[in-house]
Amino acid sequence: MKLTRIAATLLSIGALGSMSPATAQELTGTLAKIKKAGSITLGVRDGSVPFSYLDDKQQYQGYSIDLCMKVVTALQKHLGLSQLKVVMNPVTSANRIPLIANGTVDLECGSTTNNLERQQQVAFAPTMFVIGNRILSKKTANIKTLEDLRGKTLVATAGTSTLKQMTILNKEKNLGMNIAIAKDHPESFLMLETGRAVAEANDDILLASQVASAKNPGDYEITKEALSVEPYGIMLRRNDPAFKKAVDDALVRLYKSDDINRIYAKWFTAPIPPKGINLNFPMPPQLKAVLANPTDSGDPAAYAAVPEAQKTSDKKKK
């Protein structure tokens, strides 16, 4: 009996030891870098409302930043740190991938589409949002479909998958569009607002936030036609399995808790700063399904986020 108790005690001590924070000797890659520096660098956006943006107090906030801060808390515990300094590093659509790849930024907390092409350069954490690429225009322009933009000026943001998609579709469909390139999302909307472009192509939730923030929201409309349905994910460096596992585990725990519903409601169904706009964007069924079964795949065929109506539409197009 004594031997049994001793063995049980030793097993218990071993189990506790296996659950202790990671030691410096065990760490490699980004985890080792963060532990040594006592800080983590987040890539943030100035105007990707409501995901990552500057408020009127020049503070970065948003849905993506809230998720990243949950990850930061988990990493601090994992590394056994009493505190972990957070450095906010502004990024753009054009430079976000290079800054992740070269180690300047540890986590990109913005509104980045996860696709197979980008996975050749960076890694992605489990999907945090699902969007449809659509077109925004003034109602007076009467733009209902992509075909209605034949020979007209469309604006898209530099470095986005939407810009690449519009360029490809313009050529494939011989639309003769003039595609203007803006440096960021606010500039894209400004070009539409001031008449330098007839329409803006972007992710539907970003377009919805632009309309809600506009001087005259009733002047604009977003097409019902979705040109594609894609996942958003937090970016991190490739070939760093220990760091990716720590980030993924933190997000999966969050997705399986009630906190994710609270965070979602805070940014999509309640007034948000600085103007108190409410996007009134309840969590769609496809996003609920993805959060219930997290995936970091950027292959549309690998996740069940595409509405049946869109699948049918895509089949007809083929």
Let me know whether 114 and 159 are in one domain.
no
Instruction: Answer yes or no: are the C-beta atoms of 127 and 295 closer than 8 Å.
Output: yes
- Predicted local confidence at residue 111, as pLDDT: 95
Task: State how far the Cα of 241 lies from the Cα of 106, in Å rounded to an integer.
Answer: 14
Asked, for residue 108, whether it belongs to a domain, the answer is yes
Spatial neighbors of 86 by CB under 8 A, at least 6 apart, are: 39, 40, 42, 69, 72
Number of domains in the chain: 2
Cα–Cα dist 122/142, whole Å: 39
266 and 192, same structural domain?
Answer: no
Report the C-alpha dihedral over residues 31, 36, 38, 43, rounded to 10 degrees. Answer: -50
On whether residue 2 sits in a domain, the answer given is no
Residue 239, pLDDT score: 96
Tokens coding 150: 């034949």
Closest by CA position to 210, among listed 157, 287, 282, 159: 157
pLDDT in tens, 162-182: 999 999 999 999 999 999 999
- Pair 122, 32 in one domain: yes
Q: Which domain holds residue 124?
A: 26-128+233-317
- Is residue 11 a part of any domain in this protein? no
Predicted local confidence at residue 306, as pLDDT: 42
- Please indicate, yes or no, whether residues 124 and 138 belong to a single structural domain of this protein: no
Q: Which of 195, 229, 263 is at the close of a domain?
A: 229
What is the per-residue DSSP string for 75-119? Answer: HHHHTT-S--EEEEEE--TTTHHHHHHTTS-SEE-S--B--TTGG
The reply to whether 250 falls in a domain is: yes
pTM here is 0.81
- In this structure, are 305 and 271 located in the same domain? yes
Q: With respect to residue 182, please indicate whether it lies within any of the assigned structural domains.
A: yes
Beta bridge partners of 154: 179, 199
Structure tokens at 302: 């690998």
142 and 210 together in one domain: yes
- The answer to the question of residue 187 being in a domain is yes
Residue whose tokens read 């933190």: 250
| Two tokens, residue 315 | 């089949």
The last residue of one of the domains, among 207, 229, 251, is 229
* CA separation for the pair 90, 168 (Å, rounded): 29
Domain check: are 148 and 109 in the same one?
no
What is the pLDDT at residue 22? 58
Residue 23's pLDDT is 55
CB atoms within 10 A of CB 311: 12
Residues 249 and 163 in one domain: no
Q: Do 123 and 238 sit in the same domain of this protein?
A: yes
What's the rounded Cα separation, in Å, for the pair 258 and 241? 27
Whether residues 241 and 110 fall in one domain: yes
How many CA atoms lie within 13 Å of 255's alpha carbon, on the beta-carbon side?
20
- In tens digits, the chain (318 residues) has pLDDT values of 443 443 443 334 344 333 455 555 589 999 999 999 999 999 999 999 999 999 999 999 999 999 999 999 999 999 999 999 999 999 999 999 999 999 999 999 999 999 999 999 999 999 999 998 999 999 999 999 999 999 999 999 999 999 999 999 999 999 999 999 999 999 999 999 999 999 999 999 999 999 999 999 999 999 998 898 889 999 999 999 999 999 999 999 999 999 999 999 999 999 999 889 999 899 988 899 999 999 887 776 554 444 433 333 344 334
Query: Own/partner pairs for 4-8, CB < 8 Å, 24+ apart?
Result: none
The CATH number of whichever domain residue 71 belongs to comes to 3.40.190.10
Q: Say how far apart CA 103 and CA 117 lie, in whole Å.
A: 19
The last residue of one of the domains, among 181, 205, 229, is 229
Is 257 in the same domain as 113?
yes
Residues 76 and 107 in one domain: yes
Residue range 21-51, pLDDT digits in tens: 555 558 999 999 999 999 999 999 999 999 9
pLDDT at 295 (0 to 100): 85
